[in-house]
Structure 1
Amino acid sequence: MASVKKDNRLTGSQSFMCVGFAGVFSKTVTSPLEVIKIKSQVGTFHCKRGFLQSFLSVHQHEGLRGFWKGNLASCLRLFPYTAVHLATYKKIVHLHMDELGFISQWRAILAGGLAGVVAALATYPLEVAETRLIVQNCRQPTYIGVAYTLSKIYRSEGLSALYRGFSLSFLGAFPFSVGCYAVYMNLDRLWQEPPSRFSSLQNFVNGCLAVGVAQTLSYPFETVKRKMQAQSARLPHYGGVDVHFSGMMDCFIQVVRNKGVLSLWNGLTANTIKIIPYFGLLYICFEMCKQVCLYRNGYIVSPLSYKPAPGVDQSLGPHELEELKRYLKNRNFGSGESSIGNRW
């Protein structure tokens, strides 16, 4: 979110790897909350007695390993999702820029939503695999490994099963974008100062707040999507889904009729609690990776400090700085040769 800013002193591959590594680390640490959230959305028996009891139930029936089910699929999905999302976002923003290169905040957020839909389309089978791995009992698994899960779903249920519920990603992108837009339009009122003067802490709070509001608004769509992903005759008890349905609208109707409207927000507690540690770890890990890259590029004196290296122009790009170093090195080497020649 707003806490991770582009730094022109990093190459494109370095920025991508920093974001990817930070995402993998933060996802892995917060995986237990993600498992509880998805089980609550699907409606498995583990989550019938509340948030805290869900942790005890998962640990009792599956052990500590149960809290990291599906994490590999989630992490593998992160890299292509990030790459596709960034590439699509840049293209959409470029199309909507005016003659001066500016774009309205509303259009930028909408572009982010559309880019998210395209990225979700490219990586959706991995999300289905993640859901299936989480809802099963890891001590009596139906699926073993990400590749085997994808292969078994395709062979036994067809290609359509790998994209079951995808339309809900598209529908959920709109309330998500509206939530982000509503928060960012009122940030100046919240902090009583213009956005240009926000500190890093304020940007972090803004990002968490925007995600919290946006995910709450789009949460019912994700809940139904997870139920559709999990329901399978190949899994015991149809994957543990608390309703059996024939399609998206049927699932919505049955959930509201049998469980009540608020059941569409099952797992919201785990999801909300996850936001702060997830983005906090994402920011910290990104900054640590960034410091290592800046040190390797020669901008700072240590990978543990942002203190600029003496005499280094921080406005130069990494390739420009490398060329300058090469030029200075060759010039010094040449001058050394001439002085030796003169001496002899």
Structure 2
Amino acid sequence: MATVKADDRLTSSQGFLCVGFAGVFSKTVTSPLEVVKIKTQVGTFHCKKGFMHSFLLVYQNEGLQGFWKGNLVSCLRLFPYSAVHLSTYRQIVHLHMDELGYISQWRAIFAGGLAGISAALATYPLEVAETRLTVQNRREPVYKGVVHTLAKIYKTEGLRALYRGFSLTVLGAFPFSIGCYAVYINLDTLWREPQFRFSPLQNFINGCIAAAVAQTLSYPFETVKRKMQAQNPRLPHCGGVDVHFTGMLDCFRQVVRNQGVLSLWSGLTANMVKIVPYFGLLFTCFEMCKQVCLYRNGYIVSPLSYKLAPGVDQSMRPTEVEEVKRYLKNRSFPSRQ
């Protein structure tokens, strides 16, 4: 069994901001790896000679700023995605909790998968815009920003183009969830101790392993999805896609026939290299933001440490702590008078 209760010492807005800031910072730092990964998945000319050569070609053709194409829309997508994901996840989990507030591991992972699909549905047009902005040449742009990209796709290709490939998100959620489940049910064996004793470093390693396994299993679906998002006959070289297709199944067939099965995992090297710094920065930034919020709420003595404030009940919510402080302040005022 695994608890899914959030830290009640943070307000909902503080938790949301901590997640948002950590996500934006980690995405921005690892954006060059994401650009190379997307270009490799789509099949642009940058990826023909390997992982390291792709960085050189992007720099030569588009300059240093080319490594941050699409990063703005990717960061903007984080906030609505996180809000919808968190809200949906809590609602699903609440239905499966027992009277003590616990939920089985596989049900928690299943709830996470459904919440991820719901959040992806709400923010999928932004992901399509991110792909289009990433694969185009920054020095010869077809799209000139997030709003312009969405408006132009809608005007020239229709509303369905903004959700092209979404079915692959749904299909990819199943192997992704299976990968997460396969890792987490074996954590006790891996560390030879129960999960409630895991240190922050162990939890970080667990997250990296789970992400690596889950993303590897679902990667072919993401590769085909990126190709479907990028392909457009109105764009130069049809969006840079290395195969031409008429639909999802035809895309799978064309990729396997022309390039082999392993090409469905194109860009996996960049994705694997990205996992450790991405999750490391995400974890570190979230913890730093959390410490600042806990200090502001009066639970710890300094934003630079987790040393608990003396006399503060850590089980109380922030509003309750504030009420207690106000009560003690008002009660001590007459004695000072």
| CA-to-aligned-CA distance 1:110-151 (integer Å, 9 cap, x gap) | 111111000000000000000000000001000011111111
**Stretch deviating more after TM superposition (310-319 or 70-79):** 310-319
| Secondary structure of 1:307's aligned partner | coil
Equivalenced residue count is: 335
Q: Distance in 1 between matches of 2:63 and 2:315?
A: 52
1:225-260 Cα offsets, whole Å, 9 max, x none, are: 000000012211111000111100000000000010
Query: Is residue 294 of structure 1 aligned with residue 291 of structure 2?
Result: no
For structure 2, the 5+ residue unaligned runs are none
Alignment partner, residue 259 of structure 2: 259
Compare 85-94 and 123-132 and name the one that shifted more: 85-94
Equivalent position of 2:64 in the other structure: 64
Whether 1:181 aligns to 2:181 is yes
User: What's 2:162 paired with?
Assistant: 162
Letter in 2 for 1:86: L
Which residues of structure 1 form unaligned runs of 5+? 338-344
In 2, distance between residues paired with 1:119 and 1:336?
54
After the TM superposition, which of the residue ranges 83-92 and 48-57 deviates more from structure 2?
A: 83-92
Mapped partners of 2:135, 2:213: distance in 1: 26
My pick for the range that moved more, 326-335 or 276-285, is 326-335
Q: Distance in 2 between matches of 1:48 and 1:143?
A: 24
1:16 Cα offset (Å): 0.6
What corresponds to 1:342 in structure 2?
none
1:38 is aligned to 38
- Per the alignment, do residues 207 and 5 of structure 1 end up closer, same or farther by CA in structure 2, a change over 3 Å counting? farther
Shift of the 275–88 alpha-carbon distance from structure 1 to 2, 3 Å rule, reads same
CA distance in 1, matches of 2:107, 2:178: 11
CA positional deviation for 1:197? 1.6
Deviations 1:50-80 (A, max 9, x none): 0000000000000000000000110000011
Please give the alpha-carbon distance, in whole angstroms, between the structure 1 residues aligned to 2:287 and 2:108.
25
SS of equivalent to 2:306: strand
TM-score normalised by the chain length of structure 2 = 0.97
Match of 1:249 in 2: 249
Q: Distance in 1 between matches of 2:98 and 2:317?
A: 26
Other-structure match for 1:120: 120
Shift of 1:317: 1.3
Name 2:135's counterpart in structure 1.
135
C-alpha separation in 2, matches of 1:262 and 1:230: 20
Amino acid at match of 1:302: S
Q: Percent identity?
A: 79
Residue 320 (str. 1) matches residue 320 (str. 2) = yes
What amino acid is the match of 2:57?
A: S
1:308 shift after superposition: 2.1
**Partner residue in 1 for 2:54:** 54
Q: Which has the larger radius of gyration?
A: 1
1:162-207 Cα offsets, whole Å, 9 max, x none, are: 0000000000000000000001111111111221221111111111
- The code of the aligned residue for 2:25 comes to F
Q: Which moved more, 1:315-324 or 1:167-176?
A: 315-324
Distance, in Å, in 2 between the alignment partners of 1:161 and 1:334 is: 69
Deviation at 1:303, TM superposition (A): 1.6
**Amino acid in structure 2 at the alignment position of 1:245:** F
Question: What RMSD over aligned residues (CA atoms) do the two structures have, in Å?
Answer: 1.4
Shift of 1:298: 1.6
Q: TM-score, normalised by structure 1?
A: 0.95
